[in-house]
Homo-oligomer: A and B are copies of this chain.
Amino acid sequence: MNVQPAKTRSRAGGRSARRTLRSTRDITMLPGLSNRLPFCELMDGAHVEKIDAASMDILENVGVIFRDDIAIADWKRAGAKVVGDRVYLDRGLVRALIASIPSDFTYRARNPANNVRLGGRHAVFVPMTGAPYLRDLDDVRRNPTLGDLAMFHKLSHMSPALHSTAHHIVEPYDHPISQRHLRITYSSMKHSDKMFMGMTTSPKNAEDVMEMCAVLFGEDFLEDHPVTTGNCNGNSPLVWDETMLGAMRAFCKRNQPVLCSPFVLGGANTPASVPATVAQLNAEALSALAYTQFIRKGTPAIYGHYLSTVSMKSGAPMAGTPEISLMNFMIGQMARFYGVPWRTSNTLGGAKTFDAQAGYESATTLSAVMHSGANYIWHSAGWNEAGMHCSVAKFIVDAEQCAMAYRMAQGPQWDDFDEALAAVSDIGPGGHYLGHPHTLENFQRAYFMPEMFDNNSVEQWVADGSKEITERALEHARMLLSEYKEPKLDEAKNEALLDYIARREREIPAADALNQEY
Residues on A close to B: CB < 8 A?
36-38, 40-42, 47, 50, 54, 57-58, 61-65, 86, 141, 235, 237-239, 266-277, 279-280, 309-318, 320-323, 325-326, 330, 350-364, 366-368, 371, 385-386, 388, 394, 397, 401, 404-405, 407-408, 411-414, 416-417, 419-421, 423-425, 427-434, 436, 438-439, 441-444, 446-450, 452-458, 460-461, 466, 468-470
Contacts and interface: CB of A to CB of B under 8 A. Distances in A.
A322 B364 contact: no
Contacts of A268: 432-434
Contact of A318 (B63, B323, B363, B455): B455
8 contacts: A61-B425, A238-B430, A268-B433, A269-B433, A323-B448, A359-B363, A360-B363, A367-B368
Contact of A50 (B235, B238, B362, B417): B417
Contacts of A363: 320, 359-364, 367
Contacts of A317: 455
A62 B425 CA distance: 6
A185 B367 CA distance: 37
Contacts of A439: 267, 271-272
B356 A354 contact: yes
Contacts of A273: 413, 416-417, 419-420, 438, 442, 446
Contacts of A367: 363-364, 367-368, 371
Stoichiometry, as copies per complex, reads 2
Q: Which 10 residue pairs of A and B lie closest in terms of their CB atoms, listed nearest first?
A: A359-B359, A276-B420, A273-B420, A363-B363, A367-B367, A322-B408, A238-B429, A356-B359, A271-B420, A350-B455
A144 to B, nearest CB: 15
B271 A413 contact: no
Nearest to A315: B434
Contacts of A419: 273
A351 B356 CA distance: 10
Contact of A411 (B326, B361, B466): B326
Contacts of A414: 47, 275
A473 to B, nearest CB: 9
A3 B412 CA distance: 35
